Amino acid sequence: MGLYSLTFLATIETEYLPMFDLVLQTFLQMLPHLVSFGVLVFFFAKFLYKPVKEVLQKRADRIESDIADATASKTTAEELKTLYEQKIRDIEIERNTILDDARKEAAARLDQILSEAKIEAAGIKERANRDINTERERIKGEVHQAIIDISTDMAAKLVSATIDKHKHDELFAQAMQELEATAFSAR
């Protein structure tokens, strides 16, 4: 209240105070509102508070469950990640082992192929030497036959022609030269 209202109240007679009637009247007007407010509070407490509280509790429980599931999922994911990384390392080790084994096997196979090639080359060389020796023997046989043929021809010439000693020596020297030429060309 302001200063003006206080001075106004001071000037009014003290026997009649309408202010108290106003308070009583206001209280009587407020009484049904207070009763209806009390009934509403009781009704809300009885029928709405518990269900709302249960809904909120269920929601809180669901949220806690979701958080627990998320934590468990995170833990499982971390375990799976660790397991995955271990498997990757194991696969890498196995890959390196397989590559090393393949390299060793390839080196062993290369050595085997080289040794087989050397053996085959030695066989080819040996066959070539045998072929050369066979060809040499054949040529020697041909030379020998040629010598026999020349000797036979020479003997026939000697017999067929009666030759004097000088002519005979000359023919003999010529046959020897042919024989030497044939023998040297065969080598």
Q: Provide the domain limits for residue 140.
A: 51-186
Separation between Cα atoms, residue 85 and residue 81, nearest integer Å: 6
Residue 152 forms part of a structural domain: yes
Assess contact for 140 and 186: CB atoms under 8 A. Answer: yes
Residue 182 contacts residue 146 (beta carbons within 8 Å): yes
**Whether the predicted pLDDT of 2 surpasses 60:** no
Q: What is the pLDDT of residues 16-61, one digit of tens each?
A: 555 556 777 888 889 999 999 999 989 888 888 888 888 889 999 9
Distance CA 8, CA 14 (A): 12
Per the listing, tokens 């200063």 go with 3
Q: Output the six-digit token pair for 67.
A: 């958080």
Question: What mean pLDDT value characterizes the chain?
Answer: 82
pLDDT tens for residues 118-161? 999 999 999 999 999 998 888 888 888 888 888 777 777 766 66
CB-CB contact of 140 with 185 (8 Å): no
The total of structural domains in the chain comes to 1
pLDDT at residue 174, rounded to an integer: 85
Q: Is residue 34 part of a domain?
A: no
In a domain, 113, yes or no: yes
pLDDT tier, 115 (very low <50, low <70, confident <90, very high otherwise):
very high
What is the per-residue pLDDT for 71? 92
